[in-house]
Amino acid sequence: MIKSILIILFFGFLGNKIFSKIKLPGLLGMIIAGIVVGPYGLNLIDGSIIDNAADIRSMALIIILLRAGLGINKQTLKKVGKVSLKMASIPCLLEGTAILLVAHFLLDFTFIQSGILAFIIAAVSPAVIVPSMLELKESGRGMDKGIPVLILAGSSIDDIFAMTLFSVFIGLEKNTGVPLGKQLLAIPFEIVGGILLGCIAGYIIIKIMKRFKSKFSKQDKLLILLASSFGVYILGDMIKVSGLLSIMAIGFLLLEYSKETAEEIQPSLNKIWYFAQIFLFMLIGAAVDINIAIKAGLVGLIIITIGLIARTIGVVIALTNSELSMKEKIFCAIAYVPKATVQAAIGAKPLELGVVGGELMLAIAVLSIIITAPLGAIGIKISAPKLLNKIKIVNEEDIENLSAS
């Protein structure tokens, strides 16, 4: 296992540096490196790591979403809150519906089988989007209208819609007997429950840190925050609420009510993320089987393309009557292209459950990662300087003052 960790760190570092050097997103280099050294490439990574890849990816996601929460202030969130809820639901639902209809006619799937495929593909990837948005936020790009925060919040909730509707269609296919209404109620329950759980945990953490302020070092505070975030994620999974939203809520509360602690912890969290991102993107790449993706063929490409067109229309609808210009709306549509995390996590589920057409669903899921992850990551990097305004940010107060204006 130690050898495999060395391989992941070395090739991940190399991929990141090479792609950054040629002005492409470093995460793309790490994903490609993961494909090369993964089980479907040179097979250099130990099977025990591959078996636990989902948990390792989740740990890395916890760290980046905690960073995201620590970067969202109340004024900016209030400014984009309503629009982000539209961005969380409308694009996902439109993309899913479009894929459902197209798959039904092109693949001769039943509507239920088409729905399973649709909501595997419809989810965007926080793993790709969140780091990109944090970079934009820190540089001040798009922060005159809070666009990075809008996309951060929207993309995190988008996955809840997709995963819940995927579960609904799986339940219908396997006839689990769970009423449809009850399954659909899981969407608001996951969102509200996740935020509430994060607020409760955040409140407790803040109280503990204030109570024992003189006794805790910076390292102690970081350890408490990370341990609490992992615990909240596990608890969220147990009670069926969004643990990822809970983690963002913890970061948000810490910044709002214990700003000194948040600012003290952030540099150390950034250093941890430097290593965590390598494992996240390398293991996303390791989950990609190029040979399976080829089986999706032209039909798979058509389905993915139509889905992306529907998602783009959904973004435009969601941003109607917002203060965003057409250029900024186009950027939001580009930022909503990447798919990776959810597709890698659940793409094989239908096949494992014996759903008819499960192998083809997996092939299209893998193809969607190969096409959209690089397309979205490169699109964000290239389009942001051209489509978004840049403001000079000296400190967090600059964002608050700007948002309030």
Counting every residue, how long is the chain? 405
Q: What's the start-to-end Cα distance of the chain, in Å?
A: 53
Residue 184 has pLDDT above 80, yes or no: no
> What per-residue confidence (pLDDT) applies to 336?
96
CATH number at residue 213: 1.20.1530.20
Residue 11 within any structural domain of the chain: no
Residue 399 has pLDDT above 70, yes or no: no
> What per-residue confidence (pLDDT) applies to 341?
80
Residue 402 has pLDDT above 50, yes or no: no
Q: Which domain holds residue 127?
A: 52-137+146-285+294-404
pLDDT tens-digit series, residues 272-317: 999 999 999 999 899 888 888 888 889 999 999 999 999 999 999 9
> What per-residue confidence (pLDDT) applies to 177?
64
Instruction: Flag the least confident range among 30-39, 92-101, 227-236, 242-251.
Output: 242-251
pLDDT band at 178 (very low <50, low <70, confident <90, very high): low
> What per-residue confidence (pLDDT) applies to 76?
73
| Percent of the chain scoring above 70 in pLDDT | 96
pLDDT tens-digit series, residues 4-16: 999 999 999 999 9
> What Cα–Cα distance (Å) separates residue 5 from each residue in 1, 19, 181, 342?
6, 21, 45, 23
Q: Comparing C-alpha atoms, which of 204, 203, 210, 202 is closest to residue 261?
A: 210
Residue 396 has pLDDT above 70, yes or no: no
Residue 23 within any structural domain of the chain: no
For 250, the token pair is 């913890």
Amino acid letter for position 135:
E
Q: Write out the DSSP string of 350-375.
A: HHHTT-TTHHHHHHHHHHHHHHHHHH
| Percent of the chain scoring above 90 in pLDDT | 54
Q: Comparing C-alpha atoms, which of 319, 342, 279 is closest to residue 125?
A: 342
Residue 311 within any structural domain of the chain: yes
Residue 28 within any structural domain of the chain: no
Residue 8 within any structural domain of the chain: no
Is the model more confident about 275 or about 400? 275
pLDDT tens-digit series, residues 57-106: 889 989 988 988 887 777 777 777 789 889 989 999 999 999 999 999 99
Number of domains in the chain: 1
Residue 240 within any structural domain of the chain: yes
Residue 38 within any structural domain of the chain: no
Q: Comparing C-alpha atoms, which of 22, 7, 47 is closest to residue 382?
A: 22
> What per-residue confidence (pLDDT) applies to 112?
92
Amino acid letter for position 217:
S
Residue 25 within any structural domain of the chain: no
Residue 149 has pLDDT above 80, yes or no: yes
> What per-residue confidence (pLDDT) applies to 138?
87
Cβ 266 vs Cβ 137: under 8 Å: no
pLDDT tens-digit series, residues 345-377: 888 889 888 999 999 999 999 999 999 999 999
- The 3-state DSSP class for residue 157 equals helix
